[in-house]
């Protein structure tokens, strides 16, 4: 590009001034009327179409969010909540008392030694810091345990136990 082909500062200033002086032409009355009519038709049709479905879509959206939250919560609970292990067809019911069998003939039972029980840890739960008597801060921990007899007539019985540990803490 040669020196003669480059625009001068005066030419650029004139072009900028000319661009600043340009103003848009006002639209004709016919164009304004056509645009107004189209917009009025569109708004009226959208209001007619949206009015009956507005409440339904609002409710459906909230219901979908609630269902999604329930699915996520169920997934987390099934992954986090500990389950008691099963033994060869024995179902452990935590609140069910043991069922006694009916004997046809009287049976004389010899005194048995107390059964030895084994503790099986199921899980821990940290319930955070709580105030004891409204003044003393303490961390509350829960330990879930299943007690099973090692041998003896009570072998199929499972006793659930929950140990609560209250540990005082100092907050500075």
- The region of weakest confidence among 36-40, 75-79, 95-99, 135-139 is 95-99
3-class state of residue 139 by DSSP: strand
Q: pLDDT per residue over 39-67, tens digit each?
A: 887 776 665 555 556 677 888 888 999 99
User: CA 157 → CA 86, 91, 96, distances in Å?
Assistant: 12, 9, 10
**Mean pLDDT of the 93-106 span:** 54
**pLDDT reading at 22 higher than 60:** yes
**Mean pLDDT of the 113-135 span:** 83
Strands 159-168 and 136-149: antiparallel
**pTM higher than 0.75, yes or no?**
no
């Amino acid at each position: 590009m040669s020196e003669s082909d480059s625009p001068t500062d005066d030419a650029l200033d004139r072009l900028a001034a000319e661009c600043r002086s340009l103003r848009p032409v006002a639209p004709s009355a016919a164009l304004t009327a056509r645009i107004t009519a189209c917009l009025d038709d569109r708004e009226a049709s959208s209001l007619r179409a949206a009015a009956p479905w507005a409440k339904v879509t609002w409710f459906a959206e909230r219901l979908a969010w609630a269902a999604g939250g329930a699915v996520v919560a169920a997934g987390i609970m099934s992954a986090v909540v500990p389950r008691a292990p099963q033994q060869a067809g024995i179902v452990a019911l935590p609140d069910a008392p043991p069922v006694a069998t009916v004997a046809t003939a009287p049976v004389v039972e010899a005194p048995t030694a107390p059964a030895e029980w084994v503790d099986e840890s199921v899980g821990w739960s940290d319930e955070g810091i709580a105030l004891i008597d409204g003044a003393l801060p303490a961390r509350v921990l829960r330990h879930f345990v299943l007690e099973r007899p090692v041998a003896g007539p009570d072998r199929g019985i499972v006793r659930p136990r929950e140990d609560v540990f209250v540990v005082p803490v100092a907050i500075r």
